[in-house]
Structure 1
Amino acid sequence: MNLKSRIQSYSSLNNGSKTIVPKNDEDAAVASTSSESTAISPLTFELLTAKEMEYKEKVHEKLMEILDLSLIVKMGNADARKQISDIARRIIDDDTLPIVARSRQLIVNEVVNDILGLGPLEHLLYEPTIADIMVNGHDAIYIERFGKLEKTPITFKDDAHLLKVIDRIVTGVGRRIDESSPLVDARLKDGSRVNAIIPPLAIDGPSLSIRRFTQDKIQLQDMVAIGSLSQAMAEVFANIVKVRMNILISGGTGSGKTTMLNAMSNNIPKTERVVTIEDSAELQLKMDNLVRLETRPPNIEGKGEVTQRDLVKNSLRMRPDRIVIGEVRGQEAFDMLQAMNTGHDGSLTTIHANSPRDALSRVENMVTMAGFDLPVKTIRSQIASAINVVVQLERMEDGKRRVISVSEINSMEGDVITMSEIFRFERRGVEENGSIIGRYVSTGIVPRFHERMKQRGVNMSLDVYTDQTFNSL
């Protein structure tokens, strides 16, 4: 996906909408998308007919009888595709059944995709506006574009066909999927994240989910342009990363947490050494002194597992300036807090939670999972001293991802962690076309980290804490 298309997909912006420009103070109180939005054009695919599909299967079978896969796998992708295409064309030429040029090329492409690619999903992998691909069985494939779900006309032949594609994905990253290990996380060559689950866990047949990622950098200013945050927020985010604040990015599934983490990480100075830790590598940090670590599941004998906690512990021996955890979800939360409190400031991570307060509660619960018999107050004190800022994101009903709250962790008052909200998104209603009406608001509170920025040579105007930016979506 190119950068422009990825940004549009992230924001749901590409819908021909027009922005209302406030004409007076009353109009300026609430600004939103005009109801003159045009509908998103559906994707179209040139698919094989039932007869063409039947003939393709025959070509595929004949090709597999004469193809030496042991030689094909040693070739580069371009050479392998050419070799298979040439053989498929010869098979078609030798057949007495007349095939028009259009059908001939489609059949060859489908055969190549089945052998080397992801079968019918190849139609979707080159469409830049698609953010997610969801396969709910061989005959139910959905996509997300611009924050909205839609069903595609694409199907697999049967569950066995889908299983072959899933197996090709997971074996490509050294993992396996079968009845004894029926679920797996993996990734494609472009970095897209893959989750697969098969029977007996998946009752109605194999299921596959692909979260698309771009190799291009998405900057904070790109997210300002599409209305996912305000200019004031972008300035604060860039500076708190530079002065090494510990940041927790919170939100629900598909709310844009990883995109935000990537955008923020672009402000890490190039002179620093960064270690990233993930279950399935998907972060797109662009820097020279970078070490990427990935967990490993247990083997067929239940041995050899390497968890995120193992990697967090090991990363402390690697002389990191910063530790970036793709998502904290278990016992590693304890070691993460220890690292943040012992000189490894400037760390970033994400967490699944619906509010900043819920995010802290989840971290607390994860620390208790580590098996340490610590008083609740002690755990909360560790959290309060380790985490500086919580950024909350949400994917709203109109499909758009927005930062809805930015909070600074203050300290402890009794047994309670105190927080100050610095920015928030104020909802005011819903347009007839479904677009959310609202604006970004600075609460007027000057955070304590503003003084830290001054001490480290970052001079930012106090005006950002009183700015009110109207939603441009």
Structure 2
Amino acid sequence: MAPTSPGPGAPGAAVDSAPRPTPPGVLESLDARLRQLVRREGVDPQRDTVLVRQLAERLVAEHDEWSMTGAVEPLPAPEQTVGELVARVAGFGPLQPLLDDPAVEEIWINDPSRVFVARHGRHELTNLVLSRAQVDELVERMLKSSGRRVDLSQPFVDAMLPEGHRLHVVLQGISRGFTAVNIRKFRLQAARLTDLVQLGSLPATAAAFLDASVRAGLNVLVAGATQAGKTTMLNCLAAAIPGGERVVSAEEVFELKFPHPDWVPMQTRQAGLEGTGEIRLRDLVKESLRMRPSRVIVGEVRAEECLDLLLALNSGLPGMCTLHANSAREALVKMCTLPLLAGENISARFVVPTVASSVDLVVHLGIDVGGTRRVNEIVAVPGRVEDDVIEIEPIFERSAGQGSEPRELRWTGGVPHRPERYQRVGIDVHQLLNGGGLNGGGLHGGTR
């Protein structure tokens, strides 16, 4: 008599806890039936995800009943099959698990067989392999909800996905061989400056100083490299704006998300098929001044819109923006250079002193080798210029640690050049920098 293998419950049985994948033929059949149902019911998959899931659950339940008769192949994991169907029809297919993974910060496709992700500031090559048709379908589906397009006349596009993630596409022909796709996920790790303290990005004293500076109406420039956390810092700074003020923001695509009762966010628009209707960032900065703002926020300045922002700040209107730069000093140099792109009649003799008198603080961010984002320096701009060089006053700098100890952001002893602006809102900035806290009560949270 041949020996029998132990049953699933026997002591010697090997138990595989991981669910087996749905057989490809069954999945394709269910996918086709679900799409037919969605079309028949007139459902918008991206807007009515809950309804799509209900239809998928119904189909999988029917399949399970039929499998008991032996008419169809049984499903090893019905719940997993429902998730796969919803991802295919209402989500973004093979990319959906990466979009749902909270540890993934960014996803990019160099070619269909090379899909990368960033986790904790580090790059990883995934084992996901797509086809050219899948990439094209994913791009089309992602752009559908944004109202933006990409074609031969407009080979790159920035758009916002429904979950708040930013999409950037470079069409094949501009990128060699294949369409290049970047998805930068919106991950709300910090909503206020206190959250940045808990994450180790800056100490409590520096956070209290920045909170007080925003309340006092200082103009703040946030600088750093790509993925250094500039938008997160800008969100946290904006959350410190008093609730009685009116905020108007301008961005290329909506990325800012902060709590405020009186806030008008605006984003750019690309030209239509006729080549008309484009709304540039510079147009939005000008338009914001007609909307009775108490504060103006520009998501990122990178071209001639810098001139319009400078003119607004120079008129006494408080504001904030971000900028790509390697240091606080280089950020000011770039602020002096970008306005020159606005026209030949704009000269450095006008721009340099305007920058010196308009920018009050520069917050420079960096990302270390371990992927941790930190504030590297906070400098004040006293407003003085010598030999076309803007003077700066370091307030916080990272000092070198001993041995393997990390560098710490410490107060240098410097103070901002307009203490009276802090006094107007009841803040003793000298006491605050000496460790006295913000009015003795720590940082503010939420809207005010």
Whether the TM-score (by the shorter chain) exceeds 0.5 is yes
What are the Cα deviations for residues 331-357 of structure 1, in whole angstroms up to 9, with x where unaligned?
111110000011212x01000111112
Of 389, 399, 404, the residue aligned with 2:371 is 399
The residue aligned with 2:353 is: 381
Match of residue 44, structure 2, among 67, 70, 73: 73
Distance 1:201 1:429, change over 3 A: farther
Deviation by residue 1:123-177 (Cα, 9 ceiling, x = unmatched): 1222222222223333322222222222333343x12112212111112011112
Is 1:186 paired with 2:159? yes
| Corresponding residue SS for 1:72 | coil
1:375 shift after superposition? 2.9
Matched residues in 1 for 2:198 and 2:118: separation? Answer: 21
> What is the CA distance between 1:193 and its match in structure 2?
1.5
In structure 2, how many angstroms separate the alpha carbons of the residues matched to 1:392 and 1:415? 22
**Matched-pair contact (CA < 8 Å) for 1:443–1:466:** no
Contact 1:296 1:306 in 2 (8 A): yes
2:88 and 2:403 mapped to 1: Cα distance? 45
Q: Which residue of 1 aligns with 2:328?
A: 356
> Aligned equivalents of 1:430 and 1:137: distance in 2?
43
Q: Cα deviation per residue 1:62-120 (whole Å; 9 max; x = unaligned)? A: 55456526702287321122224434665684894523332x54344323211111112
> Is the CA contact 1:445–1:465 (under 8 Å) kept in the aligned structure 2?
no
Q: Residues 246-298 of structure 1, C-alpha deviation per residue, up to 9 Å, x if partnerless?
A: 00000000000000001111110000000010001010121111101010011
CA drift of 1:457 comes to: 1.7
Report whether the alignment pairs 1:125 with 2:99: yes
CA distance in 1, matches of 2:377, 2:410: 9
Q: 1:163 to 1:465 in 2, by over 3 A?
A: farther
Equivalent residue in structure 1 for 2:245, among 263, 272, 279: 272
Structure 1's unaligned 5+ residue stretches are 1-45, 468-473
Listed as ranges, the gaps of 5+ residues in structure 2 are 1-17, 437-448
Structure 1's 197 and 465: CA in aligned 2 closer, same or farther, altered over 3 A?
A: farther
Cα distance change of structure 1 residues 62 and 341 upon mapping to structure 2, 3 Å threshold: same
**Does the CA contact (< 8 Å) of 1:238 and 1:267 recur in 2?**
yes
1:143 aligns to 2:143 (yes or no): no
Q: Over aligned residues, Cα RMSD in angstroms?
A: 2.6
The answer to whether the aligner puts 1:445 opposite 2:419 as a matched pair is: no
Q: By how many angstroms is 1:465 displaced?
A: 5.7
Residue 52 of structure 1 is matched in structure 2 by 23
> What residue identity is the alignment partner of 1:378?
F
Q: Is residue 324 of structure 1 aligned with residue 297 of structure 2?
A: yes
Q: Distance in 2 between matches of 1:263 and 1:47?
A: 42
Moved more, 260-269 or 177-186: 177-186
Which of 304, 313, 322 aligns to 2:277? It is 304
Give the counterpart of 1:230 among 190, 195, 203: 203
Q: Is 1:333–2:303 an aligned residue pair?
A: no
From the superposition, tell whether residues 424 and 178 of structure 1 become closer, same or farther in structure 2 (CA, over 3 Å): same
Alpha-carbon distance between aligned partners in 2 of 1:326 and 1:206, rounded to the nearest angstrom = 27
Q: Which has the larger radius of gyration?
A: 2
TM-score between both structures, scaled by the size of structure 1 = 0.81
Contact 2:340 2:347 in 1 (8 A): no
**Structure possessing the higher relative contact order (Cα contacts under 8 Å, 6 or more residues apart):** 1
Partner of 1:101: 76
After TM superposition, the structure 1 stretch with the greater mean CA deviation from structure 2, 351-360 or 131-140, is 131-140
- Per the alignment, do residues 151 and 58 of structure 1 end up closer, same or farther by CA in structure 2, a change over 3 Å counting? same
Percent of pairs with identical residues:
30
Equivalenced residue count is: 415
Shift of 1:299: 1.1
